[in-house]
Structure 1
């Protein structure tokens, strides 16, 4: 009701689904007041019970519910909520944990809000094109109950998904100064080196060469592509691992 009062020309509303209580209540009210507004539900790929149930129009269960979005990690949909969702919710989609992690990171950086995984799935669906983004779309972001010890891992996954944390490997000649030359290319492109692994005795490394693995922080995926292109121009056979 608050959404409709604040944004009268809203075209669709996207909300997370666990047991289904939140979206069932939302859909019931919205469809009575503004039946033209589309309602989309979102679950994690690791806990898709309501997603499966909606498609079969019957309650389906999953043997496991494994996802970083533990607030919606539900194996059995609610009986009462399913009937409402099946009738009033237009569609349900699923998103990956990687998409959830990158969304948490984006909200933290841009909006300065700490959102738990279950609260971020709706925005993750919009950002990853899982639901139509025509007109004015409202993404319901609910919940900030996140374990502080888990935040660093979520941020790490978000950085990897966004292409801002990358690990590359290449071979260099096993001679003094060769590692320095490699790092000079990366330094020139203003990437931040987190750690370096250098090994000349690994089984598959030819004699006279050494394998190097470098973990980098970059600005974005385009910056990573620029680094890889420059390394190849300099003669390095580099790849992302």
Structure 2
């Protein structure tokens, strides 16, 4: 079944009054950082914190009464799970979600909170998907794919219609790509309305499955490494999404975790919003590469569900990436006043000491000495460089740990 522009328009009508039309906000901060005129499409504003609710609701709304009576089943590690769970609750039908055993406890709790029966199976999405298929076969429940489904694709494409209504003269749109459902729907909507608008897909360097597939002209599977952007860590793209994207996409680009972390950090600090790693991918590329000087660009912030433990790491790593946090190790004589001398030097340069760790027991710490690890908050990279130079001039023997 081919997805058409009319399918997307129909999905928009069904979404009206149920799914939020998310805001498109001009960002002066990110415009200055990138050289573009940046408008943020805030899909994290959806009730479940992700665009996935659009496809889930439209798919479930279109089930027959017989299909609804049999319930639905899906596999997901997070956003699709919550979208299906909430949409099922809205339609008052039974819902089973298979999630990997290592899925975030917060996402498991949220999915259960929407009323879903959660089954933990497998180490990753692929293994959970196999279990979901088994459940569907045994129970007769309707299985709902996360991205490779015509109605899912059409519903995600409504985001493209909204962007064209909110910013008719947009030049470029940056879309995170995992399996490709979001990008495929947006491409059909945007290219039908105005084929001159560029649509750029953004993938993690660890999971370039769609880019590799486009480059080779056939579906490719990647082994995949580690990435914080689990929302776009898909090993094999969808068959339907691949066919749409290969014929319509202008370009697919890659980013790494450090660039994503920097974008997430800046979104929190400057825009006061929390966006998950996959959701920050498009903006991350704009910040790091600055590809579109003077153009009106829209990065889609497609989700805001972040594990709180990860969020703490993002803040710490973001400060380090921005040159605003450093950790040094100093070996001092174990006598009164030795540490004070170092602290006074740091204070003279307005470095804020946020943590001090003493170590007298490690094998690299000799008797009569103490190892001190200092975590320092600085203003920026220039300030960090000044501190390093000052410590060297004072002949303070130190090692930079981070």
Spell out, residue by residue over 1:139-170, the C-alpha distance to the aligned partner (whole angstroms, 9 max, x if none): 11111122223321222222222222211234
1:45 matches 2:205: yes
Which of the residues 159, 174, 181 maps onto 2:319? 159
* Structure 2 equivalent of residue 113 of structure 1: 273
Let me know the Cα RMSD of the aligned residues: 2.3
Of the structure 1 ranges 73-82 and 139-148, higher mean CA displacement relative to structure 2 is found in: 139-148
Per the alignment, residue 194 of structure 1 pairs with 354
Greater Cα offset, 168-177 or 32-41: 168-177
Aligned pairs (5 A) from 1:1-80: 1-64=161-224, 66-80=226-240
Encode CA deviations 1:16-62: one digit per residue, 9 max, x unaligned: 01110111111122222222222111111222211221222221111
Q: Distance in 2 between matches of 1:145 and 1:174?
A: 47
1:82 and 2:242 are equivalent in the alignment: yes
Count the aligned residue pairs. Answer: 241
Give per-residue Cα distances to partners, 1:163-192, cap 9 Å, x unaligned.
222112344455432211111111222222
Determine the C-alpha separation between the residues in 1 that align with 2:398 and 2:195.
55
Query: CA offset at residue 200 of structure 1?
Result: 6.0
Alignment of 1:119-134 (within 5 A): 119-129=279-289, 131-134=291-294
C-alpha deviation, 1:202, in angstroms: 5.3
Give CA-to-partner distance per residue, 1:198-234, whole Å, 9 cap, x none.
Answer: 4567555678765432111222222211211221222
Corresponding residue number in structure 1 for 2:387: 227
Paired residues for 1:165-204 under 5 Å: 165-199=325-359, 203=363
Q: Distance in 2 between matches of 1:146 and 1:208?
A: 46
Give the C-alpha shift of residue 81 in structure 1: 0.7
Given the two structures, how large is their TM-score scaled by the length of structure 2?
Answer: 0.55
TM-score by length of 1: 0.89
Q: Secondary structure of the equivalent of 1:140?
A: strand
Q: Distance in 2 between matches of 1:36 and 1:12?
A: 9
Quick one: which of 298, 307, 310 aligns to 1:147?
307
Structure 2, unpaired ranges of 5+: 1-160
Q: Distance in 2 between matches of 1:240 and 1:130?
A: 30
Distance 1:68 1:74 in 2: 13
Distance 1:128 1:122, change over 3 A: same
5+ unaligned residues in a row in structure 1: which ranges?
none
CA contact (8 A) 1:104 1:120 kept: yes
Using the alignment, how far apart are the partners of 1:41 and 1:65 within structure 2? 19
| Shift in CA distance, 59/132, structure 1 to aligned 2, threshold 3 Å | farther
Cα distance in 1, alignment partners of residues 233 and 293 from structure 2: 26
Structure of higher RCO (CA pairs closer than 8 Å, 6+ residues apart) = 1
